[in-house]
């Protein structure tokens, strides 16, 4: 429903296991490496444990998907609350054999014949048992006997046991010592931490083509981690309800208040064992990630258009001058004023409009300063001491005949 409203290719938060959405977090990567190592050993038991919903089935499906069909013959068994004989029939049926017999010997012969044929054609027989914590002691012992089948000193069958945390306690019991010694590898799938929870949600959204609609507040991820306790299946349930709420309300931004409403509904419906968080966990300001920037191609197109416009503007000739009755005279070439017409040039420049005190901060003279014409040279008499230049020299100017006395 909401995937159509937000233009998603598929529903990202389904509860059923799907290896296409597997998130390669730290614990998942470690468990997968253990399984790959054990598969190369081609013998014994491999035990993967974890809380319900941590992704054990998804992990095995991811491993099986990477195997070639011409190299391995895989049989998967889920129903395990059976006795030893019934379990043996279920194993034969999972490998495609007829189980319509009450004779255990016939079932063992058929299985042995199948495993030998697989070995001769270069195939490996792999049996995967989910929910293995429900196996009885007799059923586990029957499985151990199947791992004893060999040809040319090579085991013909390998078994992967997937189960909850109780499976480890069962295998470590004193009467399960022979099964415990056949363990090639054992790993425990841990829950996600807060950072991995945020990465898990975004990973599943990106797998279905999420483009940021709806935008998710960063304050929501810590709340989802606390309520789900980092278990992927619970995260899927909460996020699915959260997106459904946003779709019904036609929201394009999911805030912390929306998460509070949805978690309150889930708590009333008792869909989680976690009690409702206090209001303090929701008293956080909403922040959203930066929306994606435009693609470089779009920016280059804009630049190309700007360049094209500027080029066309340069190629366009200037508009002709308006035609009037008077001929346009060319502007005469400016000649710097000489010493003779210095004061005349000063009178011309003084016609400018006075612009106030700010104009006095800079150079106020727009003509040649006459003081620059006065030269003072060392070794020569100062011309200012010439007669007739000082005030007291006026008498000399009135009686020039006294110079000859």
Q: What pLDDT shows up at residue 237?
A: 93
**Residue among 383, 386, 387 nearest 397 (CA):** 387
Map tokens 């295998």 to a residue.
171
Taking the CA atoms of residue 99, residue 100, residue 105 and residue 111 in that order, the dihedral angle to the nearest 10 degrees is -20
CA distance 324 to 342: 37
Cβ-contact 35, 63 below 8 angstroms: yes
CB neighbours of residue 399 within 10 Å: 9
CB neighbours of residue 138 within 10 Å: 11
**Cis, bond preceding 214 (omega within 30 deg of 0):** yes
For 385-402, what is the mean pLDDT? 57
Tokens standing for 112?
């042995």
**Residue among 354, 329, 349 nearest 337 (CA):** 349
| Topology of the domain comprising 26-189 | Rossmann fold (3.40.50)
Cβ-contact 339, 373 below 8 angstroms: yes
Express each pLDDT in 59-103 by its tens digit.
Answer: 888 888 888 888 889 999 887 778 888 888 899 899 988 878 778
Radius of gyration of the chain (CA): 47
DSSP output for 19-52: GGG----HHHHHHHHHHHHHHHHT-SEEEEEE-T
pLDDT at 401 over 70: no
pLDDT at 2 over 50: yes
Q: What pLDDT shows up at residue 287?
A: 86
**pTM, rounded to two decimals:** 0.66
Express each pLDDT in 301-319 by its tens digit.
Answer: 444 544 454 555 455 555 5
Map tokens 């013998």 to a residue.
43
Cβ-contact 215, 253 below 8 angstroms: yes
The angle subtended at Cα 111 by Cα 108 and Cα 112, nearest 5°, is: 85
Which run of H or E residues covers position 84?
A: helix 84-94
Please return the burial class of 134, using the count of CB atoms within 10 Å of its CB with bins 0-12, 13-18 and 19+. Answer: middle
For 230-245, what is the mean pLDDT? 93
CA distance 107 to 98: 8
| DSSP class of 158 | E
150 three-state secondary structure: strand
| Topology of the domain comprising 2-13+193-282 | Helicase, Ruva Protein; domain 3 (1.10.8)
The angle subtended at Cα 367 by Cα 365 and Cα 371, nearest 5°, is: 80
Tokens standing for 18?
């799907």
pLDDT higher for 373 or 130?
Answer: 130
pLDDT at 148 over 60: yes
- The ranges assigned to domains in the chain are 2-13+193-282, 26-189
Express each pLDDT in 324-367 by its tens digit.
Answer: 444 445 555 555 555 455 445 444 444 455 555 555 555 555 55
| DSSP class of 10 | S
């Amino acid at each position: 429903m909401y995937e159509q409203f937000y233009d998603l290719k598929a529903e990202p938060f389904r509860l059923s296991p799907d290896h296409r959405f597997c998130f390669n977090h730290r614990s998942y990567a470690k468990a997968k490496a253990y399984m790959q190592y054990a598969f190369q050993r081609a013998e014994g038991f491999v035990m993967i444990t974890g809380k319900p919903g941590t992704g054990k089935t998804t992990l095995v499906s991811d491993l099986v998907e990477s195997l070639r069909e011409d190299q391995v013959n895989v049989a998967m068994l889920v129903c395990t609350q059976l006795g030893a004989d019934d379990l043996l029939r279920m194993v034969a049926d999972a490998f495609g054999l007829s189980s319509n017999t009450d004779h255990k010997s016939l079932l063992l012969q058929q299985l042995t014949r199948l495993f030998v044929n697989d070995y001769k054609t270069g195939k490996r027989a792999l049996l995967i048992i989910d929910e293995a914590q429900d196996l009885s002691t007799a059923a586990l012992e029957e499985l151990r006997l199947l791992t004893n089948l060999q040809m040319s000193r090579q085991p013909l069958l390998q078994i992967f046991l997937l189960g909850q945390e109780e499976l480890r306690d069962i295998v470590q019991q004193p009467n399960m010592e022979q099964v415990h010694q056949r363990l090639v590898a054992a790993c425990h799938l841990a829950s996600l931490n807060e950072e991995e929870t945020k990465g898990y949600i975004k990973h599943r959204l990106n797998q279905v083509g999420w483009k940021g609609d709806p935008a998710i507040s960063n304050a929501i991820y810590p709340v989802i981690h606390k309520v789900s306790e980092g278990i992927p299946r619970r995260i899927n349930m909460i996020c699915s309800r959260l997106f459904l709420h946003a779709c019904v309300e036609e929201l394009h931004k999911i805030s912390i208040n929306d998460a509070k409403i949805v978690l309150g509904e889930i708590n009333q419906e008792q869909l989680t064992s976690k009690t409702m968080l206090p209001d303090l966990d929701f008293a956080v300001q909403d922040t959203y990630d930066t929306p994606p920037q435009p693609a470089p191609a779009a920016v280059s197109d804009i630049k190309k258009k700007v360049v094209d416009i500027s080029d066309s503007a340069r190629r366009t000739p200037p508009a002709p001058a308006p035609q009037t009755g008077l001929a346009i005279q060319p502007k005469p070439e400016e000649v710097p004023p000489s010493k003779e017409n210095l004061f005349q040039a000063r009178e011309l420049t003084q016609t400018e409009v006075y612009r106030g005190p700010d104009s006095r901060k800079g150079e106020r003279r727009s003509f040649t300063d006459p003081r620059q014409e006065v030269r003072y040279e060392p070794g020569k008499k100062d011309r200012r001491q010439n007669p007739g230049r000082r005030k007291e020299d006026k008498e000399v100017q009135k009686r020039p005949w006294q110079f000859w006395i």
